[in-house]
Amino acid sequence: MDLQLTGKVAVITGGTVGIGLAVARGLAAEGAHLALCARDERRLRAVVHDLKTEFPVRVIGVAADVSALDGPAKLAGAVTAEFGGADILINNAGTGSDETILTAPDERWQAYWDLHVMAAVRLARAIAPGMKARGGGVILHNASICATQPLGYEPIYNVTKAALVMFSKCLANELIGDNIRVNAVNPGLVMTPDWQKTAKALTAGTDRSWEDYLQGIADDNAPIGRFADPAEIADLFVFLCSPRAGYVVGSTYYVDGGWLRTTT
């Protein structure tokens, strides 16, 4: 199936690892040019080099913190300078949390709010007008199953991801008249470096391997009995970016191996 993405310009935050990198690879394989944003400049340079070597597309890296006030503007400015604007925006940057509501300080709430919500708000303001001028585009938000089915140890993550899903719906309603389609994706268990790092830390000095620990997580939560590979999540992102998904607007898609225990 031709996804009709050749020559499109895609901006991906958190684009050097995990789901973000998998989405970048998937879009590059379809012929889309890439603007990747991440905070780790060394890793960013390495990923950009690898993608340029593997795929015949243009790739730039922008070292910026999208949770900071100036981060989204810096990213948008670099995209405009290199490509004249963007056709696709993937708001992927984010990370899990670990706290209790009664002990987490305001600063921690604010940091996650800026990363998961305000980064998406600011990037929409910075990039959507250029999309409109180019005739339309696609904005996707990488949220989480925790937006609907919260985990007890990360209330801030749960709340901010739920807010991101609502923002996605509101933005979809506002921008569809400009031919900009906005949707959200709620992944479940995905085998990312963050999960591996946590598992290794929790099993260090014990008789249990980190692989066995993660298998236990999958057995307890996902009826499919395993974590997803990031590429499996990326396949849906790439399709949603395509004109083949042209009637998909304001929706939220679960890719969770059956973890969600409700019908909505």
User: Do 207 and 80 belong together in one domain?
Assistant: no
Catalytic entry in 112, 153, 157, 253: 157
User: Do 26 and 141 belong together in one domain?
Assistant: yes
User: Do 129 and 199 belong together in one domain?
Assistant: no
User: Do 138 and 204 belong together in one domain?
Assistant: no
Q: Is residue 137 part of a domain?
A: yes
Instruction: Decide if pLDDT at 264 tops 80.
Output: no
User: Do 104 and 199 belong together in one domain?
Assistant: no
The values of phi and psi at residue 175, to 5°, are -105, -10
Domain residues for the domain of 117 are: 9-188+233-252
pLDDT class of 198 with cuts at 50, 70, 90: confident
Tokens 């969770």 label which residue? Answer: 256
User: Do 65 and 181 belong together in one domain?
Assistant: yes
Q: Is residue 258 part of a domain?
A: no
Q: Are 155 and 198 contacting, i.e. CB atoms less than 8 angstroms apart?
A: no
The values of phi and psi at residue 11, to 5°, are -105, 130
User: Do 166 and 243 belong together in one domain?
Assistant: yes
Across the range 184-211, mean pLDDT stands at 94
User: Do 65 and 144 belong together in one domain?
Assistant: yes
Q: Are 64 and 35 contacting, i.e. CB atoms less than 8 angstroms apart?
A: no
Across the range 185-208, mean pLDDT stands at 93
pLDDT in tens, 209-228: 999 999 999 999 999 999 99
CA-wise closest residue to 27 among 250, 240, 191, 248: 240
Q: Are 258 and 223 contacting, i.e. CB atoms less than 8 angstroms apart?
A: yes
Query: What's 57's domain CATH number?
Result: 3.40.50.720
Tell me the residue length of the chain: 264
Of 107 and 263, which is predicted with more confidence? 107
* Full-model pTM: 0.96
Report the chain's mean pLDDT, rounded to a whole number. 97
pLDDT in tens, 116-174: 999 999 999 999 999 999 999 999 999 999 999 999 999 999 999 999 999 999 999 99
Confidence (pLDDT) at 12: 99
Q: 140 by DSSP, 3-state: which?
A: strand
User: Do 36 and 118 belong together in one domain?
Assistant: yes
The values of phi and psi at residue 181, to 5°, are -90, 130
User: Do 109 and 198 belong together in one domain?
Assistant: no
pLDDT class of 262 with cuts at 50, 70, 90: confident
Domain total of the chain: 2
pLDDT class of 39 with cuts at 50, 70, 90: very high
Q: Is residue 243 part of a domain?
A: yes
Rounded to whole angstroms, the Cα distance separating 156 from 125 reads 24
CA-wise closest residue to 165 among 188, 190, 189, 182: 182
Known catalytic residue: 253?
Answer: no
User: Do 201 and 177 belong together in one domain?
Assistant: no
Q: Is residue 43 part of a domain?
A: yes
